[in-house]
Amino acid sequence: MSKVWFITGTSTGFGRHFVQQLLQAGDKVVATARKLEAIQDFKELAPDRVHLAVLDVTKKEQIESAVQEAVDVFGKIDFVVNNAGYGLFGMLEEYTDEQIRRQFDVNVFGVLDVIRATLPVLKRQGSGHYVNLSSFFGTWSIPPFSLYASSKFAVEGFSEAFAQEFASFGIKTTIVEPSVYATEFLNESMIQTNRKQEYAGLYEEYEKGLSNINIGDPAKAVELIISVLKGDQPPLRLAVGSQAAYTIREAYTKRLEEVNTWFERSAQGD
């Protein structure tokens, strides 16, 4: 039986691959984007199984309208994929107030608003699945991704709690943690600050590390994500890609080692 997917940010990257693969699999998709002309080609793939809706996740009226359209057209929503987001690149004192607020408006408050708008639908159904796109930067952080990582840490935090809140209504939650993929994330979708010379050494260190990182195939990543989501017991967290799996395991291991090192001293604070 085909499923209905509500997906944000489908004009590029993972979102575009989600729509293409799901339509090929026979599912139904509400594909959203800030500009409809960027996703018109989806209609050619399966005109009867895709609905296009304008949605800027920073505009609540557009979110509510798109959700209503989804219900009106397909009658239900099985999966809500919170994919819309972008990266902010720079050192803390280089960010402007506007850049900081915009990062959280899109990556955090946008996700929250989509969840709040769709939750009544999923609760009435007694079923549904939230798929919140985080990042392996949602578990660790490095310069120059402090603000981007903090936005993904926020997604991880509220998703973990919501998973427990929503479970009694038959609603599942999965946090997706991809590594670096060949999408627009490192190009057009990246907002960069005006660099200060005193951080040149940190930028050089980052660029040296980036040259050694494995850049994954987004189509293959999305294929994996969909197969796991459609399985019988999807996990709360799903690392995507060997780089993500290795990095997240290493980050948690180091954190646990530090907790153990300071455990006895920490316990004295009771």
Residue 216 in contact with residue 108, Cβ under 8 Å?
Answer: no
Residue 27: phi and psi, rounded to 5, are -80, 175
Beta bridge mates, 52: 31
Active-site amino acid positions: 134, 148, 152
